[in-house]
A = this chain, B = another copy of it.
Amino acid sequence: MTTLMKSALYTAALSSAGFAMDAASAQSEPTVQAQQVRPQGSQPGMQGPQQLFTGTAQIAPLFPGTAEINASGAYVTFEAGARTAWHTHPKGQHIIVTQGVGYTQQWGQPVTQIKVGDVVWCPPGVKHWHGAAADSAMTHLVVTGQDEEGRNVVWLEKVSDAEYSGARDINNEQ
């Protein structure tokens, strides 16, 4: 596979997961007028890049944003202790936890434990992070809104071990 191909897959996977790093990578795609089945395993995934994630996170894209639906979809699996950096979404993000136990935190608020079946809404512009519990992996399906220019995330600083230890404290109290 060429470097160019790898780069294109990389940005497509990041964009579907609501992690596009620039506007050009998240433009809406035209859609076809016939029902389209994407078989399991047919859409290349990627590991969350080190500058945006702490620990190991695997991104599996599901569908891109389109002219009809202004949001993309992806599964993201975090190994125990792994998490995103702090970030905001210009059009918000829905999170559906599909496996395991994790945490999410809004800036200035306590850490919240999330588990299978829980649904989280992150409103536009709200600074937050999400990831796995310290002792459990966590998978969530994300549906991430994108603005008219295709932007779906603004990345901020990484979540420090000290910040994440607040999550561990919460866990120990439960």
Each complex incorporates copies of this chain amounting to 2
Q: How far is the CB of A144 from chain B (nearest CB, A)?
A: 8
Q: Taking the complex as formed, is A47 at the interface, i.e. its CB lies under 8 A from any CB of chain B?
A: no
Q: Which residues of B sit under 8 angstroms from A41, Cβ to Cβ?
A: 117
Q: How far is the CB of A105 from chain B (nearest CB, A)?
A: 8
A109 touches B37 (CB 8 A): no
B117 touches A96 (CB 8 A): no
Minimum CB distance partner of A117 in chain B: B40
Q: Which residues of B sit under 8 angstroms from A106, Cβ to Cβ?
A: 34-35
Q: Taking the complex as formed, is A104 at the interface, i.e. its CB lies under 8 A from any CB of chain B?
A: yes
B118 touches A40 (CB 8 A): yes
A31-B121, A63-B121 are contacts. A37–B69 as well, Cβ < 8 Å? no
Q: Which residues of B sit under 8 angstroms from A160, Cβ to Cβ?
A: none
A68-B145, A73-B143, A118-B40 are contacts. A126–B34 as well, Cβ < 8 Å? yes
The interface of chain A, by Cβ under 8 A from chain B, is: 31-41, 43, 62-63, 66, 68-71, 73, 91-92, 94, 96, 98, 104, 106, 109, 112, 114-126, 128, 141, 143, 145
